[in-house]
Amino acid sequence: MKKLLVAIVLVAVAILAYRHFGGGSYGIGPGHPLGRLSALDSHLTRMGLEKQPAREITPDGFDVTFQVHEYADVETSKLTGIHEGVKLFVNEAGRVCCVNAQFRFYGDNPNPFEYTNIPRFIIAYWHDVGGGTARFEPAGGGRNIFARRYEIATFANDRIEGKWIKEAPVERIQITTRD
């Protein structure tokens, strides 16, 4: 009985740690394949990211205005000299329809203990929205393009698609809804 109780406690602690530091409830569900703005906002600010004032944009070629909510890892950006952040694009109906992220490149064999807030979030988020474990392949058939080498991971399902590009000195991620 004592071993069962210890096992239950360990599982509960693991779930709480996962939700706090990695994945969690982003409000993903029917009608919200990328999550709800309120849940994502809560998660990102709890991680200590600095929330920037929301702004509106109308991309070239679109007749739709999006509200952009940006969250920055200001301290890490100061240390690395590379802007690390997450942008949530919300349509006029209030749905998150695109998530973009950028953070410093961690190399070919990264140590997960070195990850800062943005990559910790995006690895868990990519997995939770349907990307699973990102599988990178050399882009351009493995050739260096303009003396640069980069790798790409993609996923797509009936609701969303994602692209993750690793190119030193940054990694960029874009996950969008298909509607």
Which of 61-65, 131-135, 140-144, 152-156 has the largest mean confidence? 152-156
- State the pLDDT at residue 20: 43
* Alpha-carbon span 101 to 12, nearest angstrom: 30
- State the pLDDT at residue 129: 93
pTM confidence score: 0.81
H or E element, residue 76: helix 74-80
- Give how far Cα 167 sits from Cα of 110, 135, 136, Å: 14, 15, 11
- 62-86 burial: b if 16+ Cβ within 10 Å, else e: eeeebbbbbbbbeebbeebeebbbb
| Chain Cα centroid distance, residue 35 | 12
| Per-chain mean pLDDT for the chain | 83
Are the CB atoms for 108 and 99 separated by under 8 Å?
no
Q: What is the pLDDT of residues 105-148, one digit of tens each?
A: 887 666 777 888 999 999 999 999 999 989 988 876 655 656 56
- State the pLDDT at residue 59: 82
Q: What is the pLDDT of residues 75-86, one digit of tens each?
A: 888 888 889 999
Of the two residues 5 and 179, the one the predictor is more confident about is 179
Q: What is the pLDDT of residues 25-50, one digit of tens each?
A: 799 998 999 999 999 999 999 999 99
* Alpha-carbon span 134 to 150, nearest angstrom: 14
Domain range annotation of the chain: 2-177
- State the pLDDT at residue 145: 58
Tokens for 124? 């868990």
